[in-house]
Amino acid sequence: MSVMAYREEFLGRVSGEGLSHVLPPPGTSASPDTAPEVSFERPGADVVNAAIPVIFIGRNRDGLWVARDAEGKFGGLFWRRQSALRFARRRAATTGCATVYPRARFELDTENAGSALAGYAGSAKRFLTRQTRRLCVAVRKRFDSEARRLASATRYTSEH
């Protein structure tokens, strides 16, 4: 059986329950700091048979792809969406799986069974982002200081 993908319309709009409560309101975007928590609840039995594993695939705050099963037994971080999908297929090789793509970002809360380097990349990205911001502030201060110095030097020479 292949991976079955379904959208939140089947979960929220049709049955009135499911993942729709974790999605940001239409027309708004949730920042990674204020993003709502993703509920890893299995969809109802009317949507997915209880024997079929459910795997959530989405992005985390660093933009890496996360694959995590609904029960929290396994999960992984990946560079590409296709790698996360392949991971899901491999983990559910005998029975296949249902794949849920929540809109909200979520973090991996189990041991990373995916790309070992992807976890380090997220940490490195956050570190480099902080350092870049600090460098930009230092450059701006230096630029403003030089601009004031040149402005005062220009006024001084025009007065004399």
pLDDT digit string, tens, across residues 15-58: 334 433 333 444 444 444 545 577 788 888 888 888 888 999 99
Of the listed ranges 23-27, 58-62, 66-70, 117-121, the least confidently predicted one is 23-27
96: left (phi > 0), else alpha (psi -120 to 50), else beta? left
pTM of the entire predicted model: 0.59
DSSP 8-state symbol, 68: E
Cα 51–chain centre separation: 28
**Angle, alpha carbons 121-111-34 (nearest 5°):** 65
Which secondary-structure segment (H or E) carries 120?
helix 116-159
How many Å apart are CA 60 and CA 35, to the nearest integer? 10
